[in-house]
Amino acid sequence: MSEAEQAVLVDVNEGIMTITLNRPKAKNAANKAMADGVAAALDELDSNDEILVAIITGSGGTFCAGMDLKAFVSGELPIVEGRGLLGLTERSPRKPIIAAVEGYALAGGLEVAISCDLIVSADNAQYGIPEAKRGLAAAAGGLMKLPQQIPPRLAMELALTGDPIDAARALECGLINRIVPAGEALQAARELAATISANGPLAVAVSKQVIQESADWSQQEMWQKQQELVMPIFSSADAIEGATAFAEKRKPQWTGK
């Protein structure tokens, strides 16, 4: 087994891919092998029509404590060119990805979590960008994405103090979607993924795309841009199947076409 395969465990079951960061002795600190492993899994996610949703989580009761500082000192960075930290922070997959967070989601760990579409959190989770405490900055998206996802003054506090917030505060400010008891984040994420995977895959992918991209659209162009993306959905075979299945009171059989 290669170093990347050891650092990242990948499982696919009933259309749901689970990507597990697997360096528990290092609190799943991100190194280059882990970055390569996650990037390969995300490539498989978007290229395999049988996989509908992905979950990223961590082994050993923690999500990810950030970049491996020992590797950093030796000149190694846990990034993939053009894709960012762990091959995710600069380029999101086309299909939905859910973070299942237990324990620490700090520094790069938080940046990976907020690069996912949804976050399911254990009640023992801690979220923060403590880079300033180490003379660094949250350059893998924390400084740019956090002010878009939570109140800017809270994002500023997290960046300048380096202090974390707990799961309850994260839910209160809209950083995460839901809280479950410690040890249950992955199962709750799988239940959420199953709900998503039961929907039309074309509709899910385009809905994600519009929500992500529309933040940069002007008032003058937003309706036209949305129309260009969603109109092919309305003429798809899946749209006809969805309406027919509703009328016939049965589950739709999606083809992704």
Query: Which residues does the annotation mark as catalytic?
Result: 111, 131
- The residue behind tokens 């990034």 is 79
- Burial string for 10-39 (b: 16+ CB within 10 Å, else e) reads bebeebbbbbbbbbeebbbbbbbbbbbbbb
Neighbour tally for 94: CB within 10 Å? 15
Instruction: Please provide the DSSP assignment of 166-189 as one string.
Output: EHHHHHHTTS-SEEE-TT-HHHHH
> What does the alpha-carbon distance between residue 119 and residue 98 come to, in Å, rounded to a whole number?
6
Torsion over CA: 144, 121, 16, 35 (sign): positive
CB 206 within 8 A of CB 230: yes
Closest among 91, 18, 86, 6 to 51, alpha carbons compared: 18
* Residue 83 DSSP SS3: coil
> What does the alpha-carbon distance between residue 132 and residue 67 come to, in Å, rounded to a whole number?
14
Residue 34, φ and ψ in degrees, nearest 5: -65, -40
Torsion over CA: 113, 114, 115, 121 (sign): positive
> What does the alpha-carbon distance between residue 194 and residue 14 come to, in Å, rounded to a whole number?
8
Token pair for residue 254? Answer: 């999606």
